[in-house]
A and B are shown apart, each in its own frame.
Chain A
Protein backbone atom coordinates (compact mmCIF):
# COMPACT_ATOMS: atom_id res chain seq x y z
CA UNK A 1 0.00 0.00 0.00
CA UNK A 2 1.04 3.57 -0.59
CA UNK A 3 2.05 5.48 2.54
CA UNK A 4 2.95 9.14 2.85
CA UNK A 5 5.33 10.26 5.59
CA UNK A 6 5.39 13.79 7.00
CA UNK A 7 7.25 15.27 9.97
CA UNK A 8 4.84 15.69 12.92
CA UNK A 9 5.78 19.32 13.48
CA UNK A 10 7.63 22.26 11.98
CA UNK A 11 8.30 25.51 13.79
CA UNK A 12 9.50 28.82 12.31
CA UNK A 13 9.59 32.48 13.24
CA UNK A 14 7.36 34.94 11.40
CA UNK A 15 8.92 35.89 8.07
CA UNK A 16 11.01 32.74 7.82
CA UNK A 17 10.47 30.05 5.22
CA UNK A 18 8.64 26.94 6.36
CA UNK A 19 9.24 23.69 4.51
CA UNK A 20 7.10 20.62 5.01
CA UNK A 21 8.11 17.39 3.35
CA UNK A 22 6.10 14.37 2.27
CA UNK A 23 7.78 11.17 1.17
CA UNK A 24 6.08 8.34 -0.66
CA UNK A 25 6.99 5.51 -3.01
CA UNK A 26 4.34 6.48 -5.58
CA UNK A 27 6.05 9.82 -6.22
CA UNK A 28 6.83 11.03 -8.85
CA UNK A 29 4.40 8.81 -10.76
CA UNK A 30 1.50 10.34 -8.83
CA UNK A 31 0.86 13.98 -8.03
CA UNK A 32 1.04 15.48 -4.57
CA UNK A 33 -1.67 17.73 -3.18
CA UNK A 34 -1.48 19.84 -0.04
CA UNK A 35 -4.30 20.79 2.32
CA UNK A 36 -4.34 23.29 5.16
CA UNK A 37 -6.60 22.63 8.11
CA UNK A 38 -7.16 25.12 10.87
CA UNK A 39 -8.65 24.07 14.17
CA UNK A 40 -12.30 23.08 13.91
CA UNK A 41 -12.48 23.73 10.16
CA UNK A 42 -12.65 21.64 7.03
CA UNK A 43 -9.42 21.32 5.02
CA UNK A 44 -8.58 23.82 2.30
CA UNK A 45 -6.55 23.03 -0.81
CA UNK A 46 -3.35 25.09 -1.04
CA UNK A 47 -1.34 23.24 -3.73
CA UNK A 48 -2.44 20.80 -6.42
CA UNK A 49 -0.58 18.65 -8.95
CA UNK A 50 2.73 19.11 -7.12
CA UNK A 51 3.22 22.82 -7.70
CA UNK A 52 0.05 24.60 -8.82
CA UNK A 53 -1.63 27.15 -6.59
CA UNK A 54 -5.43 27.50 -6.56
CA UNK A 55 -7.01 30.86 -7.05
CA UNK A 56 -7.11 32.79 -3.80
CA UNK A 57 -4.12 31.09 -2.20
CA UNK A 58 -1.31 33.57 -1.40
CA UNK A 59 1.81 33.46 -3.55
CA UNK A 60 3.94 32.59 -0.52
CA UNK A 61 2.62 29.03 -0.82
CA UNK A 62 4.51 26.88 -3.31
CA UNK A 63 5.06 23.22 -3.98
CA UNK A 64 7.75 21.08 -5.54
CA UNK A 65 8.48 17.43 -6.09
CA UNK A 66 11.70 15.53 -6.64
CA UNK A 67 12.13 11.79 -6.66
CA UNK A 68 10.06 10.25 -3.88
CA UNK A 69 9.56 13.50 -1.98
CA UNK A 70 7.12 16.37 -2.31
CA UNK A 71 7.65 19.64 -0.46
CA UNK A 72 5.35 22.45 0.56
CA UNK A 73 7.13 25.75 1.09
CA UNK A 74 5.63 28.79 2.75
CA UNK A 75 7.93 31.73 2.03
CA UNK A 76 7.72 34.35 4.71
CA UNK A 77 5.39 32.40 6.97
CA UNK A 78 2.81 34.42 8.86
CA UNK A 79 1.11 33.77 12.17
CA UNK A 80 -2.10 33.20 10.23
CA UNK A 81 -0.44 30.22 8.50
CA UNK A 82 -0.40 28.25 11.74
CA UNK A 83 -2.35 25.10 10.95
CA UNK A 84 -2.07 21.41 10.25
CA UNK A 85 -0.89 20.59 6.74
CA UNK A 86 -1.60 17.32 4.99
CA UNK A 87 -0.17 15.93 1.81
CA UNK A 88 -2.41 13.71 -0.29
CA UNK A 89 -1.91 11.41 -3.22
CA UNK A 90 -3.25 8.19 -4.65
CA UNK A 91 -1.91 4.68 -4.79
CA UNK A 92 -0.20 3.53 -7.98
CA UNK A 93 -3.51 2.36 -9.44
CA UNK A 94 -4.93 5.83 -8.93
CA UNK A 95 -8.04 4.35 -7.38
CA UNK A 96 -7.42 4.78 -3.65
CA UNK A 97 -6.42 7.92 -1.86
CA UNK A 98 -3.97 8.35 0.98
CA UNK A 99 -3.15 11.24 3.29
CA UNK A 100 0.09 11.84 5.06
CA UNK A 101 -0.01 11.89 8.85
CA UNK A 102 -0.08 15.68 8.92
CA UNK A 103 2.38 18.35 10.04
CA UNK A 104 1.57 20.94 12.66
CA UNK A 105 3.08 24.26 11.63
CA UNK A 106 3.84 26.69 14.43
CA UNK A 107 4.77 30.27 13.58
CA UNK A 108 6.03 32.23 16.59
Chain B
Protein backbone atom coordinates (compact mmCIF):
# COMPACT_ATOMS: atom_id res chain seq x y z
CA UNK B 1 0.00 0.00 0.00
CA UNK B 2 0.96 3.65 -0.31
CA UNK B 3 3.03 4.61 2.68
CA UNK B 4 5.89 6.66 4.07
CA UNK B 5 8.05 5.38 6.90
CA UNK B 6 10.44 7.70 8.73
CA UNK B 7 13.49 6.65 10.68
CA UNK B 8 16.67 8.08 12.12
CA UNK B 9 15.36 10.04 15.07
CA UNK B 10 16.82 9.84 18.54
CA UNK B 11 18.34 11.72 21.45
CA UNK B 12 21.26 13.93 20.49
CA UNK B 13 23.32 16.59 22.21
CA UNK B 14 23.13 20.23 21.16
CA UNK B 15 25.40 20.99 18.22
CA UNK B 16 25.40 17.44 16.92
CA UNK B 17 23.89 16.04 13.73
CA UNK B 18 21.39 13.42 12.57
CA UNK B 19 20.15 12.17 9.25
CA UNK B 20 16.45 11.43 9.02
CA UNK B 21 15.14 9.10 6.33
CA UNK B 22 11.70 8.61 4.82
CA UNK B 23 11.17 5.42 2.83
CA UNK B 24 8.36 5.54 0.29
CA UNK B 25 6.45 2.59 -1.09
CA UNK B 26 3.35 1.88 -3.15
CA UNK B 27 3.65 4.85 -5.50
CA UNK B 28 6.00 6.42 -8.04
CA UNK B 29 8.18 8.37 -5.62
CA UNK B 30 10.10 10.16 -8.38
CA UNK B 31 6.91 11.90 -9.55
CA UNK B 32 6.16 13.78 -6.33
CA UNK B 33 7.49 16.76 -4.46
CA UNK B 34 8.23 15.85 -0.86
CA UNK B 35 8.14 17.88 2.33
CA UNK B 36 9.30 17.69 5.93
CA UNK B 37 6.97 19.02 8.64
CA UNK B 38 7.77 19.02 12.33
CA UNK B 39 5.83 19.33 15.56
CA UNK B 40 7.42 20.24 18.88
CA UNK B 41 5.90 18.55 21.94
CA UNK B 42 2.51 20.10 22.68
CA UNK B 43 2.88 22.61 19.83
CA UNK B 44 1.51 23.07 16.34
CA UNK B 45 2.70 21.90 12.97
CA UNK B 46 5.64 23.72 11.42
CA UNK B 47 6.58 23.42 7.76
CA UNK B 48 10.31 22.74 7.44
CA UNK B 49 11.44 22.08 3.87
CA UNK B 50 10.47 20.93 0.39
CA UNK B 51 12.31 19.26 -2.45
CA UNK B 52 10.97 19.03 -5.95
CA UNK B 53 10.20 15.69 -7.55
CA UNK B 54 13.51 15.63 -9.42
CA UNK B 55 15.61 17.22 -6.69
CA UNK B 56 16.18 20.33 -8.79
CA UNK B 57 14.93 22.79 -6.16
CA UNK B 58 14.68 22.92 -2.40
CA UNK B 59 13.36 25.49 0.02
CA UNK B 60 13.50 25.88 3.79
CA UNK B 61 11.86 27.71 6.60
CA UNK B 62 14.09 30.51 7.88
CA UNK B 63 14.87 28.92 11.25
CA UNK B 64 16.63 25.91 9.68
CA UNK B 65 18.27 27.52 6.66
CA UNK B 66 21.97 26.75 6.59
CA UNK B 67 21.62 23.94 9.17
CA UNK B 68 19.23 21.48 7.52
CA UNK B 69 19.52 19.94 4.07
CA UNK B 70 16.74 18.09 2.31
CA UNK B 71 17.67 15.57 -0.36
CA UNK B 72 16.30 12.53 -2.11
CA UNK B 73 17.43 9.39 -3.86
CA UNK B 74 14.83 8.47 -6.42
CA UNK B 75 16.60 5.20 -7.18
CA UNK B 76 15.99 4.18 -3.56
CA UNK B 77 12.57 5.82 -3.14
CA UNK B 78 13.92 7.62 -0.12
CA UNK B 79 13.78 11.18 1.19
CA UNK B 80 16.34 12.55 3.63
CA UNK B 81 16.77 15.42 6.04
CA UNK B 82 20.27 16.12 7.25
CA UNK B 83 19.97 18.10 10.45
CA UNK B 84 23.14 19.79 11.68
CA UNK B 85 24.02 22.13 14.55
CA UNK B 86 20.98 20.94 16.45
CA UNK B 87 19.38 23.18 19.04
CA UNK B 88 16.96 22.47 21.85
CA UNK B 89 14.22 24.16 19.82
CA UNK B 90 14.64 21.55 17.07
CA UNK B 91 13.17 18.94 19.43
CA UNK B 92 10.10 17.67 17.62
CA UNK B 93 8.41 14.85 15.79
CA UNK B 94 9.51 15.07 12.17
CA UNK B 95 7.01 13.98 9.52
CA UNK B 96 7.62 13.48 5.84
CA UNK B 97 4.66 14.16 3.58
CA UNK B 98 3.85 13.70 -0.09
CA UNK B 99 2.57 16.67 -2.05
CA UNK B 100 0.02 15.74 -4.67
CA UNK B 101 -0.95 17.59 -7.83
CA UNK B 102 -3.62 19.56 -6.00
CA UNK B 103 -1.14 21.04 -3.55
CA UNK B 104 -2.24 18.80 -0.68
CA UNK B 105 -0.21 16.68 1.70
CA UNK B 106 -2.15 13.51 0.98
CA UNK B 107 0.21 10.94 2.49
CA UNK B 108 2.05 11.36 5.80
CA UNK B 109 4.50 9.16 7.61
CA UNK B 110 4.06 8.23 11.25
CA UNK B 111 6.84 10.58 12.32
CA UNK B 112 10.23 10.19 13.94
CA UNK B 113 11.11 11.90 17.21
CA UNK B 114 14.23 14.03 17.55
CA UNK B 115 15.18 15.11 21.06
CA UNK B 116 18.01 17.58 21.49
CA UNK B 117 19.26 17.49 25.04
CA UNK B 118 22.54 17.50 26.94
List chain B residues, Cβ under 8 A from A86: 44-45
Chain A nearest CB, measured from B54 CB (Å) = 15
Which residue of the partner chain, among A1, A44, A54, A102, contacts B44 with CB atoms under 8 Å?
Answer: A102
Interface size for B (C-beta < 8 A) is 22
Pairwise interchain contact A52-B50, C-beta atoms closer than 8 A: no
The prevalent SS among residues of B at the interface is strand
Cross-chain contact A35 with B44 (CB below 8 angstroms)? no
Q: Which residues of B contact A43 (CB under 8 A)?
A: 45, 95, 105, 108
**How many chain A residues touch B (Cβ–Cβ < 8 Å)?**
25
- Using a CB–CB cutoff of 8 Å, the interface residues on chain B facing chain A are 35, 37, 44-47, 50, 57, 59-62, 95, 102-106, 108-111
Contacts A45-B106, A49-B103, A99-B44 known; list 4 others, CB within 8 Å.
A86-B44, A88-B47, A95-B57, A102-B44
